[in-house]
Chain A
Amino acid sequence: MSVASHFSYWITILLMVAGLYIVIARGNLVKKLIGLSIFQTSVYLLYIAPGKLIGGTAPIISPAFKIYSNPLPHVLILTAIVVGVATLALGLALVVRIREAYGSIEEDEILAADRAGGDSE
Chain B
Amino acid sequence: MTFAHLPALEVVVPLIAAPLTVLIRRSAPAWAIAAAACSFSFVAALLLAAEVAAHGPISYHLGSWAPPWGIEYRVDALSAFVLVLVSGMATVTVPYAWRSIAAELPRDQVYLFYTMFCLCLAGLLGMTITGDAFNLFVFMEIGSLSSYVLIALGRDRRAQYASYQYLVLGTIGATFYVIGIGILYLATGTLNIADLAQRLQHVENLRPVLAGLAFITVGVSLKLALYPLHLWLPNAYTYAPSAVTAFLAATATKVSVYVLLRFYFSVFGLHLVSVTLPMPEILLVLSIVAIVSASLVALYQTDLKRLFAYSSVAQIGYITLGMSLTSRAGLTASVVHLFNHGITKGALFLLLGGVALRAGRTGLDRVHGLGRAMPLTSLGIVIAGLSLIGVPGTAGFVSKWYLVLAAIEAGRWWLAAFVVATSLIAVAYVWRFVEAAYLSEPDERTPEPGEAPLAMLLPAWLLVAACVYFGFDTSYTVEAARRAALLLLGAAQ
Report which A residues bind B (CB closer than 8 A). Answer: 16, 20, 23, 29, 32-33, 36, 39-40, 43, 46-47, 50, 73, 76, 79-80, 83, 86-87, 90-91, 94-95, 97-98, 101-102, 110, 114, 121
> Which of B83-91, B167-175, B307-315, B407-415 makes up part of the contact surface?
B167-175
**A121→B363 contact, CB < 8 A:** yes
- In the assembled complex, B265 has its CB within 8 A of some CB on chain A: no
Alpha-carbon distance A9/B302, docked complex (angstroms)? 49
The distance from the CB of B108 to the nearest CB of chain A, in whole angstroms, is 16
Please name all residues of chain A whose beta carbon is closer than 8 Å to the beta carbon of B160 when the two chains form the complex: 94, 97-98, 101
Whole-angstrom distance between the alpha carbons of A95 and B175 in the complex? 21
Query: Does B418 reach chain A (CB closer than 8 Å)?
Result: no
Nearest CB on A from B262, distance (A): 19
Cα distance A76–B185 when bound, in Å? Answer: 11
Chain A residues lying within 8 Å of B183, measured Cβ to Cβ, are: 46
B residues near A46, Cβ cutoff 8 Å: 179, 182-183
Q: Is B289 an interface residue (CB 8 A)?
A: no
Q: Is B141 an interface position by the 8 A CB rule?
A: yes
| Beta-carbon contact of B178 and A110 below 8 Å | no
Q: Which of B138, B141, B172 contacts A20 (CB 8 A)?
A: B172
Mask, B140-158, CB within 8 Å of A = 1, is 0100010011001000011
Chain B interface, >50% SS class: helix
Q: Nearest-CB distance from B156 to chain A (Å)? A: 9
The answer to whether B182 touches A43, judged by C-beta atoms less than 8 angstroms apart, is: yes
Q: How far, in whole Å, are A16 and B176 apart by their CA atoms in the complex?
A: 10
In the bound complex, what is the Cα–Cα distance between A83 and B163 (angstroms)? 17
CB distance from A88 to the nearest CB of B (A): 9
Taking the closest CB of chain A, its distance from the CB of B449, in whole angstroms, is 24
A121 CB contacts on chain B under 8 angstroms: 302-303, 361, 363
Partner of A90, one of B148, B174, B363: B148
Q: B134 in the interface, Cβ–Cβ < 8 Å? A: yes
Report the count of interface residues on B (CB-CB < 8 A): 31
Q: Is B164 interfacial (CB 8 A cutoff)? A: yes
Q: How far is the CA of A46 from the CA of B185 in the complex (A)?
A: 11
Number of A-B contacts (CB under 8 A): 74
| Contacting pair B158 A40 (CB below 8 A) | no
Contact of B167 with A91 in the complex, beta carbons under 8 Å: yes
A95 to B160, CA, bound (A): 8
> In the assembly, what is the distance between CA of A43 and CA of B235, in Å?
29
Q: B145, A39: Cβ atoms under 8 Å?
A: no
Q: Tell me if B186 counts as interface (CB < 8 A to partner A).
A: yes
B401 within 8 A of A: no
Q: How far is the CB of A105 from chain B (nearest CB, A)?
A: 10
Distance of A77 from chain B, by nearest CB (Å): 9
Give the residue of B164, B168, B303 whose beta carbon is less than 8 angstroms from that of A98.
B164
Q: How far is the CA of A80 from the CA of B158 in the complex (A)?
A: 29
CA distance A73 to B138 in the complex (A): 14
Across the interface, B164 reaches (CB within 8 A) one of A20, A43, A95, namely: A95
Q: With an 8 A cutoff between CB atoms, is B40 at the interface?
A: no
Please tell me if the beta carbons of A39 and B175 are within 8 angstroms of each other in the complex: yes
Within 8 Å CB of A86, what residues of B? 141, 145
- B134 contact set on A, CB distance < 8 A: 76, 79
28 A-B pairs within 8 Å (CB atoms) are namely A20-B172, A23-B172, A29-B164, A33-B168, A36-B171, A39-B172, A39-B175, A40-B171, A43-B178, A43-B179, A46-B179, A50-B186, A73-B185, A76-B134, A79-B138, A80-B178, A83-B174, A87-B145, A90-B149, A91-B164, A91-B167, A91-B171, A94-B148, A97-B160, A98-B161, A98-B164, A114-B158, A114-B161
Q: In the bound complex, do residue B158 and residue A87 qualify as a contact, i.e. CB atoms below 8 Å apart?
A: no
Is B145 within 8 A of A23, CB to CB? no
A8 to B424, CA, bound (A): 54
Please name all residues of chain A whose beta carbon is closer than 8 Å to the beta carbon of B185 when the two chains form the complex: 47, 73
Contacts of A23 in B (CB 8 A): 168, 172
Enumerate chain B residues within 8 angstroms of A110, measured Cβ to Cβ.
161
Residues of chain B contacted by A95 (CB below 8 angstroms): 164
In the complex the two chains form, is A91's CB within 8 Å of B168's CB? yes
The one of A36, A73, A98, A114 in contact with B172, judged by C-beta atoms closer than 8 angstroms, is: A36
Report the minimum CB–CB distance from B326 to chain A (whole Å). Answer: 30
Shortest Cβ distance from A101 into B: residue: B157
Contact B175–A90 (Cβ < 8 Å): no
Name the B residues within 8 Å of A87 (CB-CB): 141, 145, 167, 171
Complex: A121 Cα to B168 Cα, angstroms:
26
CA distance in complex: A82, B207 (Å): 31
Q: In this complex, what residue of A is CB-closest to B302?
A: A121
Q: Is the CB of A32 within 8 A of B168?
A: yes
Contacts of B171 in A (CB 8 A): 36, 40, 87, 91
C-alpha gap A83/B161 in the complex (Å): 21
